[in-house]
Amino acid sequence: MIRFKHAIAAGVVALGAAVSAHAGAITGTIKFEGEAPEMKPIDTSAVPECHAMHKDKPIVNEVLVMGPGQTLGNIYVEVTKGVPAKDYPVPTDPIVLTQEGCRYAPHMFAIRVGQKLKILNPDGILHNVNYLPKTNKPNNVAMPANLKEMEVTFDKAEAPFQFKCDIHPWMGAYCAVVAHPFFAVTKEDGVYSIDGLDPGEYEITAYHERLGKQSATVKVAEGGATQDFTFSRPARK
């Protein structure tokens, strides 16, 4: 149950790694290259309850979130190879995903394997939570007005997968499930930082819901390393 409210703020690295005296960080900035499509406001007029919540400020499509200089938000970055095989403590606090104002927040987030996801419905209207993992078990659950929260956990690591609402088709979010604490999600400034890494060689992967994924090999020395990424629109076939 995702009560991620505007929690796991993008760009914040999950906590919980055991940090050695020589631990470093991988940091970088992620940008978009090329002419960016315009993200137009979403027409919610077909659903009066949702439309009434956004008369003065329509919901904006979050498929592409950019800052000055075409930096990219909502990019999930994870260390995908090189992480020592050991148990990392799972946070006891849940991640929170909200369905507020007929939108999911946060739009891109990550949760640890076995960590609780608290999903909230403060809108007081019918939503449904339809999540579509490939490795974990998918589910499609109605959340009527009187069901304010629910909880779910995922027991296997998995790359970002979609959450949607079949009642309000513009609602969407993406969730990654991680077995370790070495990951981050970018804000509009495109900056990420993954801390607590011992010196060594790692693979890191950056994911975007439409622009795909990119990987790079990074050598971390004492003090850390830098790895930037640049995404662009896929060529039309």
Over residues 173-221, the pLDDT tens digits come to 999 999 999 999 999 999 999 999 999 999 999 999 999 999 999 999 9
Give 88-121 pLDDT, tens digit per residue. Answer: 999 999 999 999 999 999 999 999 999 999 999 9
The torsion defined by the Cα of 55, 60, 61 and 67, in degrees rounded to 10, comes to 180
Q: Do residues 178 and 113 make contact, with C-beta atoms less than 8 angstroms apart?
A: yes
Q: Do residues 54 and 101 make contact, with C-beta atoms less than 8 angstroms apart?
A: yes
Residue 117 has a pLDDT of: 99
Residue 237 has a pLDDT of: 61
Residue 55 has a pLDDT of: 82
The token duo for 130 is 């339809």
The token duo for 71 is 């930096």
Q: Do residues 185 and 109 make contact, with C-beta atoms less than 8 angstroms apart?
A: yes
pLDDT class for 12, splitting at 50, 70, 90?
very low
Cβ within 8 Å of residue 206, ≥6 positions away: 30, 75, 76, 77, 213, 214, 215, 229, 231
Q: 233 or 101: whose pLDDT is higher?
A: 101
The token duo for 138 is 């998918």
pLDDT higher than threshold 70 for residue 137: yes
Peptide bond preceding 68: is omega within 30 degrees of 0, i.e. cis? no
From 2.60.40.420, 2.40.50.430, 3.10.20.30, 3.20.20.70, which CATH number describes the 24-232 domain?
A: 2.60.40.420
What integer best gives the mean pLDDT of the chain? 90
Measured from the Cβ of residue 162, the count of other Cβ atoms closer than 10 Å reads: 14
d(C-alpha 212, C-alpha 36), whole Å: 16
Q: 77 or 20: whose pLDDT is higher?
A: 77
Considering only 56-65, 135-144, 146-155, which range has the smallest mean pLDDT? 56-65
d(C-alpha 179, C-alpha 88), whole Å: 8
Report the predicted TM-score, pTM, of the whole model to 2 decimal places: 0.87
Residue 8 has a pLDDT of: 40
Which residue carries 């609780």 as its tokens?
A: 116
pLDDT higher than threshold 70 for residue 16: no
Q: What percent of the chain has pLDDT over 70?
A: 89
The token duo for 198 is 């011992």
Residue 5 has a pLDDT of: 37
The token duo for 21 is 């005296």
Residue 22 has a pLDDT of: 55
Strand partners, 208: 212
pLDDT higher than threshold 70 for residue 10: no
Residue 4 has a pLDDT of: 37
pLDDT higher than threshold 60 for residue 229: yes
Residue 25 has a pLDDT of: 96
Look at residues 157, 154, 167 and name the one whose alpha carbon lies nearest to residue 99.
Answer: 167
